[in-house]
Amino acid sequence: GAGVSQTPSNKVTEKGKYVELRCDPISGHTALYWYRQSLGQGPEFLIYFQGTGAADDSGLPNDRFFAVRPEGSVSTLKIQRTERGDSAVYLCASSDQPGGADTQYFGPGTRLTVL
Amino acid sequence: AQSVTQLGSHVSVSEGALVLLRCNYSSSVPPYLFWYVQYPNQGLQLLLKYTSAATLVKGINGFEAEFKKSETSFHLTKPSAHMSDAAEYFCAVSSPAGGNQFYFGTGTSLTVIP
């Protein structure tokens, strides 16, 4: 079956611009996660959705970052007034067993480059 | 607070040799522990996980890991390395006490020498 997909695979933007990154989770998975992976680092938690609601957004670095999941499936991560420090690979994962022991299925990521 | 430390950002082994990737965790409660693998241009894939059942966990592709509470470790091993094992490996921890935050280590890049 289809895995988690993310679009675009690469995004180059200029400092100060607005970007949207999309995640299509595995069909039927109720839990969805966003992570950010900087060069040489492991994934860093940003936000977790259970259904349509953001159950935990404590990882969002500041108010320029926002994510939505209006119908409990596709999610969009939105970054306003991008900065060069936002350059990273943004990963999305989904799970059908929300909780600390769940297996998360990751997408290939969106590589964001802010010039 | 929870965290994991992966000792050795780069590990090289000969084909057929033992693979040992180290992970130590810090957690105020008994944790859940995971190993993920990331092949080039692919998403992270779960190798195995410890969720408080058997301390020796067997995963895919011949990998296994042993949870050692006394050493706060969850090292990943494979008896005989294959060329196809070359990838980035991440250890991660989460808490059974609630919440859904996963904390990943910085990763270990495994090179297999023919």
* Mean per-residue pLDDT, A45-61: 90
Residue B36 has pLDDT above 70, yes or no: yes
B109 part of contact set with chain A, CB < 8 Å = no
* Weakest mean pLDDT among A46-50, A91-95, B1-5: B1-5
Q: What is the pLDDT of residue B101?
A: 77
> What are φ and ψ of residue B73, in 5° steps?
-125, 160
Mean pLDDT for chain A overall:
93
Residue pair B3/B92 in contact by the 8 Å Cβ criterion: no
Q: Residue A85: helix, strand or coil by DSSP?
A: helix
Residue B78 has pLDDT above 60, yes or no: yes
Q: Which residue has the tokens 């936000």?
A: A47
B51 part of contact set with chain A, CB < 8 Å = yes
Q: What is the pLDDT of residue B3?
A: 87
Residue A65 has pLDDT above 60, yes or no: yes
Helices then strands, each counted (H, E), chain A: 0, 11
Q: What is the pLDDT of residue A44?
A: 94
B88 part of contact set with chain A, CB < 8 Å = no
Residues of B in contact with A40 (CB under 8 A): 9, 106-107
Residue A81 has pLDDT above 90, yes or no: yes
Q: What is the pLDDT of residue B29?
A: 77
Provide the percentage of residues in chain B whose pLDDT is more than 90: 72
Mean pLDDT for chain B overall:
91
* Mean per-residue pLDDT, A46-66: 91
Residue B41 has pLDDT above 90, yes or no: no
| Confidence at B112, pLDDT banded by 50, 70, 90 | very high
Residue B81 has pLDDT above 70, yes or no: yes
Q: What is the pLDDT of residue B27?
A: 82
Q: Which residue has the tokens 């400092």?
A: A15
Tell which A residues from 71 to 100 touch B, by Cβ distance under 8 Å: 91, 93, 98-100
